[in-house]
Amino acid sequence: MQRSRWIGAGVLASALVLTSCSSGPAGVDAKQNPEATLELWTRTTPGGPGEQSVLRLATAFEKATGHKVEVTAIFDDFETKLQQRAAQKNLPDIVMNDVTQLGAMHSQGLLREIDLDRIKDSGQIVGQGLDSGKSLDGKQYGLPYSAQASALLIRKDWRQKLKLGIPRDWDDFAAMAKAFTTQDPDGDGKKNTAGLAAPLSTKRGYASWYFSNFLWAAGGDFITETGKGKYKPAMTTKASVEAMQWFRDLGCEAKAVQPGAVTMDTPPTNETFEAGRAGMFVVGPYLLPRFDETLGKDKYEVVPMPKGPKDATVLAEGGSVYLMAGSGNQAGQDAFAGFAVSAEGQRAGMEGAAGSTVQLPVNKTVDISQVRPDPRWKTYAQAYQDSGRYAPSIPNWTPVRQAAADTVNALMADCGLDTVAKLGELDKQLADILQEQGIAAS
């Protein structure tokens, strides 16, 4: 999951009031100057490899187009600082931010609609990536510049020692999880290993974020669209209940999820896998450089997620380029967006494995194996193209994810709870959330 801080309801409400002025948050009538330097904000740690990668992308863009870009990296309090600039009617020209922030920023009036006819190479963008930048009204407000999807990491040495094959379906997955838990795969004579590493904390919705890889593969859902941008809760459907029960059984019955998972977000879960305390981990490609160094490239393998009761759908995420309202250089905005999704821009963004701007390319003409010959990246790219699914671009996805995370966490923490009853309570919460956002099906 992209490391983000979320906008609270109070901030959202104040932003909506703020942007109700006819001139918009930054003045939509700004005089145009195609020579003006573009101010670009990117959500990443200042001074880190992420910022350096964006700077390389900006340099390549300047060289290719002549447009000048000033890059500002912000991680802490990103949304708060963006709201401050909105209040001053002086937004940056471009924001590179999580794809899940589209609904919130669009509902606040911070974005301008993107005319794809003015974006060079927009026709080369992967379909689901392009769709991730659309709001509920079907209009384009973001363009993906980077994607990622989940795949399954397995301790290869453990699998080979226990003479297990690559898991092809959920039965295989559960069998491997149990074997890694009970058959001493590390050979130390102790019962100190788990089958699956899973961040199931309620913090920032981690539990439901992780569980989505299993929920969707079973044909379940958190909420489902009924048409014309309206949604209804879906956690009490047969597929959702069965997915939750199956996942819960891994922890409650098989004891195959790492101890303390319900208190863990990603950092301690990453440590669990690399320290040899768990044998499987469902995660994106951004951890490969780390695990190659700490665990050893020869100790683990990357394989596609096994097929669930419905298919092998996995969570897709990534970053989007947002063109902010009120810019005095819309031509420059369009040029940057076009460059970011072009084959040249994608390759520039993929330079360096650690902290690169682009994880998986969103341009259909870019073959990742030509840029990163490591076949494990190809596995991830294939998972994204074949099975990747984004969260819906509703006005605010955060409360949906958080409510679901609270319930998933509770069910995994207390094996005495009634699964159906708890999911029924969740559906009532989700119904209220959808109603508050004005997108509840009648």
pLDDT at 138: 92
How many structural domains is the chain composed of? 2
Residue 442 placed within a domain: no
Same domain, 205 and 348: no
pLDDT at 175: 98
Q: Please state, in angstroms and rounded to a whole number, the distance separating the CA atoms of residues 362 and 385.
A: 9
Structural domain including 194 reads 151-315+396-436
Same domain, 180 and 225: yes
Q: Please state, in angstroms and rounded to a whole number, the distance separating the CA atoms of residues 432 and 147.
A: 31
pLDDT at 227: 87
Residue 4 placed within a domain: no
Pairing label, strands 314-323, 94-98 = antiparallel
Same domain, 309 and 354: no
Residue 325 placed within a domain: yes
pLDDT at 25: 52
Same domain, 279 and 418: yes
Residue 3 placed within a domain: no
Query: Could you read off the pLDDT of 114-169 as tens digits, one per residue?
Result: 999 999 999 999 999 999 999 998 999 999 999 999 999 999 999 999 999 999 99
Residue 88 placed within a domain: yes
Same domain, 348 and 425: no
In the chain, which stretches have pLDDT less than 50?
1-24, 27
Residue 322 placed within a domain: yes
Residue 84 placed within a domain: yes
pTM of the model: 0.90
pLDDT at 253: 98
Same domain, 338 and 382: yes
Same domain, 142 and 170: no
CATH of the domain at 38: 3.40.190.10
Q: Which residues are bridge partners to 43 per DSSP?
A: 74
pLDDT at 228: 86
For residue 76, give both structure tokens.
């802490």
Same domain, 17 and 131: yes
Q: Please state, in angstroms and rounded to a whole number, the distance separating the CA atoms of residues 430 and 427.
A: 5
Same domain, 61 and 142: yes
pLDDT at 7: 32
